[in-house]
Structures are given as C-alpha cells and as structure tokens.
Amino acid sequence: MGAGVSSDLDAQKGTTNFQLKTGLNDVPESCISSIFMYLDPPEICKLARLNKAFRGASLADFVWETKLPSNYRYLVEKVLGRNPDSLCKKETFARLCSPNRFDGGNKEVWLDKNSGKLCLSVSAKAMKITGIDDRRYWNHIPTEESRFETVAYLQQIWWFEVAGELEFEFPPGSYSVFFRLHLGKPSKRFGRRVCNLDQVHGWNTKPVRFQLSTSTGHQISSECYLYEPGNWVHYHAGDFVIDDSNPTTKIKFSMMQIDCTHTKGGLCVDSVFIYPSEFRQMRFK
C-alpha cells in the first residue's frame, strides 16, 4: 500500500510539473503587443524573431501607430501617393523610413528608424542660385557623395547667393536647418577619392551669411566663414519650432556672400537638410 501511495504521489507530482512548464509561446500576443509599445522599432524587429507569438504581436497596428509621426497620413498621401488606410501601420513605417523623393525628385523625406522622427533634404537643383545657367560660373557635376547624385559646383563668381523654400506639414517639435557644402571639387581617380582645391578662394575674406525664416514668424540670421577644404561640412542656418496649430509651414532659407570687392569660387553646394533639433550632435553622413 505504501508503494502504491508513493506511486500515486509521484504521478501527481509529474502531472503538476508538466502543467507548470510554460514558455514564451504561452504569453498572450496582446500582452506582448502592450510591451512593444514602449520599445524602439529596432528592438521590436529583433524580438519578433523569437517565435510565432512575438512575430504576431509585432504586426499589431496599434503598436506601430505609436511609432509613426502625427502627420503620417499626410506623408503617405503626398510622398507615397497612397491611401493611408490601404497599408498596415508596420508597412507604412517601413516605407516612410526609406528615402522617398517628391517635387520632381529634387526633395527627399524619410523617418529616422530608431525614433520615427521626420527628416528632409532639398537638393541644389531645387534652389535658386545666382548665375546657375552661366557655365562661366556654375556647373552641375555628378558625384556619388550626394544623395541626389549631383551637386552644383561654383568655379568663380562675384555675387554669391543661394536660396530655397519648402512648404510642408511637419509634426510638432523643434527643427534645425543645415547647408551641406564642400570646399574643393571631389572626384575619383583610379578608384581613389581626390579633391582639386585649385579654384578655392575668397571664402576667408568675408563670412557667408545664412538666413532662415518661416511662415510662423521665425527669423534667424548668422554669419560663418567656410572651412575644412576637402571635406563635406554641415553649416547650421538656424532652428524653428512647430506647434499643433501649424498644419502647414512655409520655410525659406538662403546663404550669400555678396561683397563684390572680390571673387569667390571652388565650392560645391549639395543640399539643405532639415532635422529634429535633438539630432544636431549626430554624425552627418
């Protein structure tokens, strides 16, 4: 009898042990999705590889809607040319994280993959450049060093002025505007990068004036000498703030050096970048 009782207890213990064996597959997808709302997109994608439950949870629309900017419907319609309701939220996020061109391919917008923050770039071809149609002064040169595959190269000019504008719906927040410039003419020779500095002159005589204004009333002006020949440099033109009451904002930006007592040249104008202000310390690529 003692042996029988012992056997019954062992059987019950085994049954209890079996019932207590649970794993990640047993966690409800709704619970996992709720946790995913507090994680960054790259972390969600990594955890989605664990098992079927985590993968299913990572597809929930309410998870990815928290990662999208408040103006994502505007972006899908303007940039992707789609109905926002025709895409699931994860696909919407993925597509908006890829660089998407608009306005004739001369402007580009994308979301930062880690934060979902909006970033924009405006090519030199979308700006008004004094003398751009005169080959004595300017040329458009192809290069792999620009996201637009081409830059405006200044050989020599007396009156230097570059101006552009953008009308766009930004999510609320603070943004910084940068001009991406390069002293010297970069190229490749035998597979190696070389830079011709022969035409670089006039930039250490007087500073370049950068100006920024918005339809919300921001007016910023600053001056800076151009520096670091042979390297791409992002020159900060100013910051602006968007609040909830500004659905569409018009931004104007410019740079000029119009002292006609001397010429200046040897400058590549690539583009203007608009980033969230917290990205100012990031390493630009």
Kindly list the structural domains of the chain, giving each domain's residue range(s) and its CATH number in brackets, ordered by start: 29-98 (no CATH), 119-284 (2.60.120.260)
For residue 278 the two structure tokens come to 């917290």
- CB contact at 8 A, 54 and 60: no
pLDDT for position 5: 46
Q: Which residues pair with 253 in a beta bridge?
A: 164, 212
Per-residue pLDDT tens digits of the chain, which is 285 residues long: 445 545 454 545 555 454 556 666 777 888 888 888 889 999 999 998 988 888 998 999 999 999 999 999 999 999 999 999 999 999 999 999 999 999 999 999 999 999 999 999 999 999 999 999 999 999 999 999 999 999 999 999 999 999 999 999 999 999 999 999 999 999 999 889 999 999 999 999 999 999 999 999 999 999 999 999 999 999 999 999 998 867 899 999 999 999 989 999 999 999 999 999 998 766 454
- What 3-state DSSP class applies to 75? helix
Kind and range of the H or E run holding 174: strand 173-183
CA–CA gap between residue 186 and residue 75 (Å, rounded): 34
> Contacts for 96-105 with beta carbons within 8 Å, 24 or more apart?
96/68, 96/72, 99/147, 102/78
Q: pTM to 2 decimals?
A: 0.86
For residue 132 the two structure tokens come to 């751009």
For residue 81 the two structure tokens come to 């040319």
The DSSP code for 33 is: H
Nearest in space to 31 (alpha carbons), one of 63, 5, 4: 63
Collect all residues with Cβ–Cβ distance below 8 Å to 75 and sequence separation of at least 6: 69, 96, 109, 118
- CB contact at 8 A, 238 and 177: yes
Nearest in space to 269 (alpha carbons), one of 121, 136, 168, 158: 121
pLDDT for position 173: 94
pLDDT for position 12: 52
- What 3-state DSSP class applies to 208? strand
